Each structure stands twice: as C-alpha cells, then as structure tokens.
Amino acid sequence: MIAPLKRILAILAKEFIQMRRDRMTFGMMIMVPIIQLTLFGFAINSDPRHLPTAVYLEETSPTVRSIVAAMRQSTYFDIKQQVFDPAEADRLLQNGEVAFVVEVPSGFTRGLLRGDRPQLLLSADASDPSAASGAVGQMNEIVRRALNESLGRGWSSLQGQPPLVDVVVHRRYNPEGITQYNIVPGLLGVILTMTMIMITSMAMTRERERGTLENLLAMPARPWEVMVGKITPYVGVGLIQTGIVLLASTFVFGVPFLGSPWLLLACVGLFIIANLAVGFTFSTIARTQMQAMQMTFFFFLPSILLSGFMFPFRGMPDWAQWIGSVFPLTHFLRAVRGIMLKGADATAVWHNIWPLLIFITVASFIALKRYRVTLD
Amino acid sequence: MTDLAIDVHGLTKRFGDRVAVDNVAIRMPKGQVWGFLGPNGSGKTTTIRMLCGLLKPDAGQGTCLGYDLIADSRQIKRQVGYMTQKFSFWEDLSIRENLEFVARLYELRNIKQVVDQTLETLGLSSRQKQLAGTLSGGWKQRLALAACTLHNPAMLLLDEPTAGVDPQARRDFWDQIHRLAAEGLTVLVSTHYMDEAERCDEIVYIAYGQLMTQGPVSRIIDESGLHTWVAEGPGVRALADRLRGRDGAEHVAYFGSALHVSDSDAAKLDALIASEGGAGTQWRRERPSLEDVFIHLMGQAEDKS
C-alpha cells in the first residue's frame, strides 16, 4: 500500500513544481475566480437604474414637474436633458444617448383635472429589452404616486380604480421585446472577438514554438510582410463568419436589418482589425499556444460580461462601465445594434466608431513595438 | 571587392546581464569551409544569427559578403543560406510545398523547374507530396540543406547541421558541403564533432562568448603548447582516477580505450608519467589530438571567466 502512495506523492510534488513555474496558468487559476467574483458580484445588475432619459414637455405645470421629479426620485430614470423638438428626441434615442424619452402633450394638466385620462408617452429604447423592462414596469406606479402627492390623496381616491393618466409605452426598435433581436447581432461581435483573437495569437505563436519563425525571418521576408501575410487570411475568415451570422440572423431569427449593409461591413472591418491587433499583441507575449489560448480567454471573459452583450451596460456601476468601454466589443455591439435595429446612419454610429479607431491605434502600436522586441 | 566573406570585429551581444558574445572578430576568406566550435552555450548560434542579419549586435561592426552587417542586413539575407539548429521548415507542408514556398519568398524565376531539379538531386521526387514532418532526421536535414541552397547563396551558415544524424548521413552531408565549396561557396559550420572539424580549412573556437583561437587544425594543435602521453592496457582504468587533479596532469581523458594525459609543462608531465606509470600499461608520446586541445582550451576559458 505504501509504495503506490510514495509514487503518487512524487508525481504530486512534480505537478506542484510545474504549476508554480507556469506563471500564466497559475495566474489564471488565481485571477479567473477573482475576476468572476468581482464581475458577477459587483458589476452585473439585471435591473439597471439611473437610465439616461430626455423629457419633451409641451407644458410645464406643477403637476408635470412633480411627475418628472418622481421619475428622478424612483432612481430608475436619470433626467439628462429637456428637448424642445420631437426630432431631437428621436435622434437621442437612435444614437443611444438616452434610453427613454418622456413626452407630455399640451393640455395634459387640464385633461387630468377634467378626468379625461390624458396620455403620457414613454418611448423606450427596447433594442435591449431586458435593460428597459424594469423602468417601464415601474412607470405607472411612479405616475400614480406623483399625482397622489401633487393633487392630494383624497382627490385621487375619489376617482376610483382606473389610473388618472394613460401611460402609453412605445418600445422602439423592438416593439415585441424579442430577445433574439438583441442577442443575435451581438453574437456577431462575440464570435468575431473569440475567433479573431484566438486564431491570430495561436498562428503566430505556433511559428515561434516550432522554430519556423526564425527560418522565415532569415529569408528575405520583412517582419511587416510576415505580419500582413499571416493576418490577412483571418480577415477573410472573419468576413465569412459575419456572412453566416447575418444570414442566420435574417432568415432563421427574423431580426430586422434597417440600416446600410455597407456601413455594417465597414464597422465589421474595423472591429476585425481591432481584434487582430489584440491577437497579434498576445502572440508576441505568449511563448506557447497554450498561453495564447489563456490570454485570449482572459480578454474574452470581461469582454463578454462587461460589454453589454450579456447584461445591460447601464446597469453596471461606473467603474465597470469604464472598464467595459475599453473593450472594442462594447462599441461594436452598439454600432451593430444601431445599424440593424435602429437604422442608424454613419453620423449616428460615429460615436461608437471613434473609440474603435483609438483602440486600433493603441493596440497596433503595442503590437508593433512588442513584435520588434521578440524578433531580437 | 574584398576577398573576405566575413570580416567582423568587436562583435558583442548581450541578453540582459549575460554577455552571449563578447568582442568577437572573424576574418574568413571566400570559398573556404570553416568550422565553428565551442561548448554548448558558448555563443555560436548567437554569432551566426548576427552574421546572417537575424540579430542586431549591441556593439561591433563589419561586413558579410561585402555588405555592412547592420545597414545591409537585407542584402545579406538574400545571399546567405542559414540552416537552423532545429529543423525549421513547415512540418505540415509537403516537401514540394516547402521548397516552393522558399523559392517564392526569394522571388526565384522558373519555380517549378528549380523545385523539380532540387527534388531530383535530393532523390525525393517520388516522395514530394509527403509531409515534411514525416521525414526521418537524416532526410529532414537534406531537405533543409536543399531549401537553404535553393536561391544559390554565396555563403552558407550552418548551425550544428549534423546533430542527431546517423554516421552515413553525416558523411553524405559533408561530401555535399565539400562539393558546394568546390563550386565556390563559402561555408561556416558549427559542430561538436572533431572529425568534422578536421575536415575544415580552418577552425574558430569560441567559449563563454570569447574567441579562444582560430586557424588551421595543425597550427592550432602546434600553438596550443600541449604535450600528451597516451596509455593503453588493462591497468588504464585504475590509473585515470589516480592521475586526475595531479600536478603535471592538466587533463586526463579517455579516447576509446586509450587514456590521454596532457599538460602544458612537458617536464612535469614526463616526471608524473615516470613515477605513476604503473604496471600493465603501455605508454607512448603522441601529438595532441584536436579534442585534447579543445579540452585544454575549455579549461583555460573556465579559468578566465
């Protein structure tokens, strides 16, 4: 009995030594649970509050003001600005600058006092149905309480059961609240992130691991020629993936495609470049393909959790939103959803494109700098 | 134009704190075959990589085939064939695909013809579709040599090309090297085998990054100032332990069944042999072998560092 135990102990000890030597794996084992605990424990919230809201008020009676105040107090709505033009309100909603627009028509207060049940319009950006649902669900209750306080309890109870105000909710861009409308375009970004980063980081690392990179560089190929030659095929792979996802999105899931396909293609191109730059940077750091895999995972995990793909971006605390804003996926998701679901044009998605451009610049700079170092 | 294929001096390369190559100077004429020797980790590979433009030296300068080592590394790469220590062609490409790829990187014309010709010479025409990874060590080495001579280089830099290759393949390989040299190719080849070193026109010996000696084999042996006694017979085994570390026996080493005892001081060595000669052994004076000299040089290098 004792001999097998001794041998098992010997193997055990060897395994621990190797585990400690392999910094990357060791780091993974420690960091991944910490990252997950932090993200799931603190960052993720499926009932987002403080959602940016614009108000379009055709009249501003004390009653209307009390409704706006009650919305703010509910913590669901963050009244960012007052607009004076319905077109401006549309634009804000389409750009994703606000999640809600509250519209109070003229004659609201008069109608209310007459008992006409005037309408109050709440337009919600439902391209992410789960992000909007909490606040939408609370709206009737918020309005009822505001009126109670504004008009006095006795008066409202006199009117009996049906609410005094008819809260009309417009779920824009996804009126039926279909989850697939949000998930499938987002999936495009997730799939591209995963494969582009993994494939490029592995492809380069493989050349180094097998010693063929040295041979390649001893021949007349210049470093940048090697880089371009190695990366370009994967741009093609990325485009094929894009085609597959878009076909499935349209024909299998029936997701609407309102915007310009060319604009989408341009965004996909930028996003692929951004991910290839990350993959290439990883390939200059990782010594083995295993490490390249691990680094990809390290990047992928927070990308998918903090980008707004799985959980509402606006539901996260500020620090998590800042971290999330670093990842190209975050901006790409907004651009794709904007183009496909909201029919956004180039000016509307521009504020999602420039962060991608900055990311590409920085990541390529690091990649090239690291690349030079590894060659030596 | 200069007649020197390699003309470098002060060549130095550091990796962090470690000096891998320290102030090395090599002047090698065109058309010769030189051996590059030294213990493992002595800086042979690093030197070769600097010579073919893969690594930038931290200090030093010079020319390779008349091109400046630092400024013209691209021209150097075009005219040098470099064979890495480890097989570094693509194992998941076929033999033909490997050769074609190399030919296209060098922008050769008539690629099909050149590759066909090479496959013919190699005797691999019938196996051209086989994946390179499935070849045996000897064949891999032949393929590598063929691939790095495909573009008709003026100089070959071979980094331990015969490590792990069987004796017959090793001989064939060297015949090939001499054939290429006869055609005017300059060859610098690093090796650990003394018989290979002896086939070279000259030898460069490097240890701990420093150049220890350089010249034709016979001159290196003469200039070493080493004296050697060779002992044979049944009593040799007991003798070795007794002589090791004694004054007058700088190193004691087996060559086959014979024991070589060497020292720089002839008088001390003779005295030691006379007193410790022992029964059952036959002693004779011999010219030190190249390996004796290298063990001696290695000892000197250790003392220095």
Nearest CA in chain A to B151: A219
Question: What is the CA angle B62-B67-B71, rounded to 5?
Answer: 80
A218 and chain B in contact, CB less than 8 A? yes
The CA distance from B11 to A371, in Å, is: 24
**Neighbouring C-beta atoms of residue B196, cutoff 10 Å:** 21
Beta bridge pairs of residue B47: none
A211 and chain B in contact, CB less than 8 A? yes
Which of B56, B88, B105 lies closest to A376 in CB terms? Answer: B56
| Inter-chain CB proximity A218 and B84 less than 8 Å | yes
Which of A215, A375, A376 lies closest to B89 in CB terms? Answer: A215
Record the tokens describing residue B265, joined without a space.
């001081």
Which of A210, A214, A219 lies closest to B77 in CB terms? Answer: A219
Record the tokens describing residue A134, joined without a space.
């909490």
A141 and chain B in contact, CB less than 8 A? no
Nearest CA in chain B to A226: B105
Query: Considering the entire predicted model, what is its pTM?
Result: 0.80
How remote is the C-alpha of B95 from its chain's centroid?
27
Nearest CA in chain A to B51: A218
Partners of residue B102 in chain A, C-beta under 8 Å: 219
Nearest CA in chain A to B87: A211
Residues B60, B8 contacting (CB under 8 angstroms): yes
Partners of residue B78 in chain A, C-beta under 8 Å: 220
Measured N-to-C along each axis, helices A289-306 and A179-209 cross at an angle, to the nearest 10 degrees, of 160
One pLDDT digit (tens) per residue for chain A, 376 residues:
688 899 999 999 999 898 888 887 888 888 888 888 988 888 888 788 889 999 999 988 888 888 899 999 988 999 988 989 888 988 898 888 899 999 999 888 888 888 888 899 999 998 888 888 888 888 888 888 888 877 765 555 545 566 788 889 998 888 888 888 888 999 999 999 998 999 889 888 898 888 898 888 888 888 888 888 888 898 899 999 999 999 999 999 989 999 999 999 999 999 999 999 999 899 888 888 888 998 998 899 889 989 989 888 888 888 999 999 999 999 999 999 999 998 888 888 898 999 999 999 999 889 888 877 666 6
Burial readout B170-195 (b: 16 or more C-beta within 10 A, e: otherwise) = beebbeebeebbeeebbbbbbbebbe
Nearest chain B CA: its distance from A209 CA (Å): 10
pLDDT tens readout for residues B198-246: 999 999 999 989 998 999 999 999 988 899 989 888 878 888 888 888 8
Partners of residue B156 in chain A, C-beta under 8 Å: none
Tally A–B CB contacts below 8 A.
40
Question: ipTM more than 0.85?
Answer: no
Which of B56, B78, B88 lies closest to A220 in CB terms? Answer: B78
